[in-house]
Amino acid sequence: MDLRVKRTQKNIKDAFYQLRKKKGLEKISVKELSELAMINKATFYLHYHDVYDLSAKLENELITQMIDELREIKLQNGADEVLRFSEALRKSIISHLDEIDILFSGYSNNHFINHLEDRLKEYIFTTFKHIKNDEETNVILTFFIQGSYHTHIRNRTISPDILEKATSQLFSRLIGGL
């Protein structure tokens, strides 16, 4: 990709994040975003249909990045791998909290975790095809993914070490019961 295109896209993304920190997505105009990114509106439209398209692409990039981080954990049968996967998921959520907050603030918050859950399950089911239609496993995965996320979002003032210890104990007990 051309260096100028990369720089333009970075400027657009940076401007979007700056504006999104201050206001809801529906209040961001292409004109305002383009001025902040120091580009003209036509340049913005070469890359994105509108601010909703830009937001959706940034959301997908973030979720893809998080899943790529989790791919380093080789999913195999066994409690140890599941625990490592749960720890990696928690660390990924923590390391991306600022981006998550900006992109998915307000009503969009549930959109993010639902989207992440869908993509994680898709990834897990490509490895373990035999559990895809197992309803109990689907419930456990939902609890695991949604629970990890909401635990960190709602308990930000608690030390990350304490959160990690508590959730590790919970998941160890959960996995031990399987």
Share of the chain above pLDDT 70, in %: 87
pLDDT of residue 176: 60
Q: Where does the pLDDT of residue 40 fall: very low under 50, low under 70, confident under 90, or very high at 90 and above?
A: very high
Give pTM, 2 decimals. 0.78
| pLDDT tens profile 81-93 | 667 777 788 888 8
Share of the chain above pLDDT 90, in %: 30
pLDDT of residue 85: 77
Least confident of 8-12, 43-47, 61-65, 140-144: 140-144
Using a CB cutoff of 8 Å and minimum separation of 24, what contacts does 89-92 make? 89/120, 89/144, 89/145, 89/148, 90/148, 90/152, 90/163, 90/164, 90/167, 92/66
The CA distance from 54 to 62, in Å, is 12
Which class does domain 3-48 fall in? mainly alpha
pLDDT of residue 109: 58
More confident residue, 171 or 12: 12
